[in-house]
Structure 1
Amino acid sequence: MAGKVIIYGDNLTFVGCLFEGTDPNDNLVQIYSDNNIKFLYSTFKPNSYSMPPGNDGTVSSSHSTPGTPFDKSWQLATTMKEAAAVMDHNDIWGNAGLEMVTGFPGRPSTWTNNYIHDMADTSHDVYHHDGIGPQSEGDGGPMIVDHNTLASLGNTNALALQGGGVYDHISFTNNYVSGWGYAVHIGDVNNATNITVTGNIFSAELEQLYGFLYGNIWGGSARGSTWRGNLIQARSGDGNHTYSTADNGRYLWPTDGASHTTDYTG
């Protein structure tokens, strides 16, 4: 247990580690690495709880507020230099976001098989709740986000690329995503390039504030981007009432947020 773990060094790998603490409004892990750092099969959590409040393991994330109270939470894991992180098979909860470099040519930021859920203090506006992010400048990528569960009540984004600069070579594939404000956010203006959004399940399991895709921004085929095979999951009793069981298994289009019987081809 610690208030903050500060890591110095480059090309480091952490396997099966437990990072836990209580440091509201501050980093749990603060990383000073120049090129690469890996976290594999590790857990990032508040020390006050063994399981997220309201989540008994039968749901992807608690369906009710408040989650981990603010005074028992941690805020971020942050890369302070230019290391492109590899995050694989980690369990991450009780926080507000993960503020890490989005990658550089030849050094992609990689997020695979992670379980990111149960954000902290979702009943108040103390935190912005982001899964992967926030990244507020733009000009980010390459980035690989594949086969993760990104599920939580919250007010911002599961993928929080919130800048006005150009995001390039962002791959968001085969993920289960539910809740948040807008689930996926790839840029504040429609200038992204080479974006791949394929094979994801956009689930109505959790209440959602706005929609699945911020501003209908994903790059567009004219700029080398692809949107294919993204399905809606909607079941009886789900928290997102925008969709009904009639939408279950239908395709989500980026242009309107509605369900369709055929895949998007634009």
Structure 2
Amino acid sequence: MFIASALTSGVAASAESHERAPADSVSALKARPNDGSGYWPDFSNTGYAKTPANAGGLGLKAYPGKLTNYASNMSASKPLTLRFPNNSVISFKRFLALKVYIYGDNLTFVGCSFEGTNPDDNLVQIYSDNKIKFLYSTFKPNSYSRPPGNDGTVSSSHSKPGTPFNKSWQYATTMKEAVVVMDHNDIWGNAGMQMVTGFPGRPSTWTNNYIHDMADTSHDVYHHDGIGPQSEGNGGPMVVRHNTLASLGNTNALALQGDGVYDHISFTDNYVSGWGYALSIGVANNATNITVTGNIFSTELEQLYGFLYGNLWGGSARGSTWRGNLIQARAGDGNRAYSTADNGKYLWPTGNDGHTTDYTG
């Protein structure tokens, strides 16, 4: 069923402000994705099968127990073109394709699944002018029901290669200037989410998403990114709040990799583990109004280099803030640059060492 509705700012606020409801005894530092606590985004609270009633404030029912195929002749070997009236809400549909082309503006997908195999190319290609939303949806390879190596007790597979290259997909990409609202989505088996970072007055928003298990992490055919890559710079505003960004890989959980100015980027209350450099906020020291606060940088997964590329984040002189970012380290973790003595220490933007006091620069 398609529901046409005028998507107001109030609806957007409802989707963006849906916060976790953690157990009272659980703290961010104690919890990990898929540990049963439900504190962080994981298999228990993201993706189409976990869609609650009234998701996004849209008045829809909860996940009905089964998705409806969008078309009867869908195949992972051929493209699928979707054209919806502007302001449509599309719920509980399964889209299977080599590539899904989406046309229409201010569309909202709720409780949907996008599945396919398209190595080194887009699985989802979006032609929208202003905004597009994905709530409680799943983006995955069609060959697997669960990521290879992830048995549902870890944030992401601790072993390579993940989804093999020839069964993977590379990106979901916005082809025009639509900003995205991404909330409670389950995303894996790929190499990045290449979405517009935002424009003044039109922020992109990523909340409560589970982004994990990048594809082909053994052979490094891909440039592995979580949110991104954005390679031009001159992006923002952007809100990245309370997501799980965990995977083996060679580049960044937040991949803002251009030399232009990134402005008003907020990265708060996220669980981050693995990658090459976990965060990249530009490749030149020119960012402005960057907020990096309250994040857990976990040593659960092997990490190639460090937590912050080039120690670049703008700095207080450019209106930026770095506070309350903690290292989470446990025995047996994959990032062996740290030990249990580092657990609970503060991470500073000036290096990878743990500190007993917070950064004040």
TM bin, normalised by shorter chain, reads over 0.9
Give me the TM-score of the superposition, normalised by structure 2: 0.73
Who is 2:271 aligned against? Answer: 176
Who is 1:124 aligned against? Answer: 219
Structure 1: distance between partners of 2:292 and 2:220: 30
Letter in 1 for 2:226: G
Who is 1:150 aligned against? Answer: 245
Deviations 1:126-183 (A, max 9, x none): 1000000000010000000000000000000000000000000000000000000000
Among 201, 210, 217, the alignment partner of 1:115 is 210
| 1:20-35 matches, cutoff 5 A | 20-35=115-130
Among 167, 174, 184, the alignment partner of 1:72 is 167
Percent of residue pairs bearing the same amino acid type: 87
Who is 2:139 aligned against? Answer: 44
| Matched residue count | 266
1:11 and 2:106 correspond: yes
**Runs of 5+ unmatched residues, structure 2:** 1-95
Letter in 2 for 1:41: Y
Among 281, 294, 306, the alignment partner of 1:186 is 281
Q: Secondary structure at the match of 2:145?
A: coil
Structure 1: distance between partners of 2:158 and 2:220: 18
Among 92, 100, 105, the alignment partner of 2:200 is 105
Structure 2: distance between partners of 1:56 and 1:256: 33
Among 277, 291, 297, the alignment partner of 1:196 is 291
Structure 2: distance between partners of 1:55 and 1:27: 24
Deviations 1:93-131 (A, max 9, x none): 000000000000111010000000000000012100000
Structure 1: distance between partners of 2:177 and 2:345: 40
| Runs of 4+ with deviation above 3 angstroms | none
Letter in 1 for 2:169: W
**Runs of 5+ unmatched residues, structure 1:** none
Deviations 1:167-218 (A, max 9, x none): 0000000000000000000000100000000000000000000000000011
Structure 1: distance between partners of 2:261 and 2:97: 37
1:136 and 2:136 correspond: no
Deviations 1:219-239 (A, max 9, x none): 100000000000000000000
RMSD value, Cα: 0.4
